């Protein structure tokens, strides 16, 4: 079976991606078989640039098909912040608590009706030589609440209210998140390409 490597170092993101790809005829792997794989610097200023950098960079290192994505939270009232800097908004990369604390501080004086926000996920699939085959984008709209709700999900999820459900992604089950999320939408657009690839490879 053709290998598909998920080019991410975020464990929670990895869990969601693996689940979203579970029914496809690929041997889905994370980066753990390649412990010395160099980090890819996310020097882009757009989600697409960073997704391409990660897919290409990891594919060249592991020489397999790689799916990588760059994602984040966009708050129009904050001029689009945290945006591509979502993972390091609080100062330290990947510190969800610090990121959420800063988000709440920045939105302190913003009334509920102006606290709209959306998640973006831009996914890129690269071949083993590092050529990007396809880039897709998914979005998920919601609102930032002013108190933490629920312990599920990761990142900004305890503050991200899904209006249709009157609950945050911190409160909603993984099943609901996987039906609605930016990541699910980006991955579902990749499916036709992945199916074609698996047929070509005779999986
Ligand atoms: O780059 P990799 O290794 O994939 O892992 P990362 O966590 O650094 O990933 P990104 O650079 O794409 O930054 C994504 C950040 O955006 C936020 N984010 C993205 N998707 C999210 C989701 O589904 N729920 C909550 N926060 C999310 C969260 O703060 C993530 O750390
Ligand atoms: Mg990152």
CATH number at residue 73: 3.90.950.10
pLDDT of residue 43: 97
DSSP 8-state code for residue 85 = G
Query: Measuring CA to CA, which residue among 149, 144, 155, 143 is closest to residue 97?
Result: 155
What average pLDDT does this structure show over 170-194?
A: 98
Decide: 119 in ligand 1 pocket, CB within 6 A: yes
Tell me how far the alpha carbon of residue 19 lies from the centroid of ligand 2, in angstroms. Answer: 20
pLDDT of residue 56: 98
pLDDT tens for each residue of 78-125: 999 999 999 999 999 999 999 999 999 999 999 999 999 999 999 999
Mutate to test the pocket of ligand 1, among 38, 72, 93, 173 (most ligand atoms within 8 A of CB): 72
As a whole-number percent, the residues of the chain with pLDDT over 70 amount to 100
Of ligand 1's listed atoms, the one at least distance from the Cα of 93 is 8
Tokens 């689940």 -> residue: 19
Strand partners, 120: 72, 139
Whether the per-residue pLDDT at 201 is higher than 90: the answer is: no
Residues 6+ apart with CB under 8 A from 21: 4, 28, 67, 187, 194
ipTM rounded to 2 decimals: 0.99
Q: How many domains does the chain have?
A: 1
Contact 78, 107 (CB under 8 A): yes
pLDDT tens for each residue of 59-84: 999 999 999 999 999 999 999 999 99
For CA atoms 178, 120, 116, 99, the dihedral sign is positive
Decide: 64 in ligand 1 pocket, CB within 6 A: no
Domain that holds residue 181: 3-200
pLDDT tens for each residue of 17-46: 999 999 999 999 999 999 999 999 999 999
Q: Is 15 annotated as a binding residue?
A: no
């Amino acid at each position: 079976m053709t290998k598909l490597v998920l080019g991410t170092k975020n464990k929670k993101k990895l869990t969601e991606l693996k689940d979203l790809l579970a029914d496809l005829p690929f041997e889905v792997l994370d980066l753990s078989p390649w412990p010395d794989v160099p980090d890819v610097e996310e020097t882009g200023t757009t989600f697409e640039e960073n997704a391409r950098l990660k897919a290409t960079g990891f594919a060249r290192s592991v020489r397999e098909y790689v799916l990588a994505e760059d994602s984040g939270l966009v708050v129009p009232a904050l001029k689009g912040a945290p945006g591509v800097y979502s993972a390091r908004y609080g100062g330290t990369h990947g510190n969800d608590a610090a990121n959420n604390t800063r988000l709440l501080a920045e939105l302190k004086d913003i009334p509920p009706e102006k606290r709209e926000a959306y998640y973006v996920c831009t996914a890129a699939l690269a071949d083993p030589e590092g050529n990007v085959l396809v880039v897709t984008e998914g979005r998920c709209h919601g609102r930032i609440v002013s108190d933490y709700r629920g312990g599920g999900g990761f990142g900004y999820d305890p503050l991200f209210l899904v209006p249709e459900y009157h609950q945050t992604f911190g409160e909603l089950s993984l099943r609901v998140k996987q039906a609605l999320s930016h990541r699910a939408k980006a991955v579902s657009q990749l499916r036709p390409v992945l199916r074609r690839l698996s047929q070509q490879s005779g999986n």
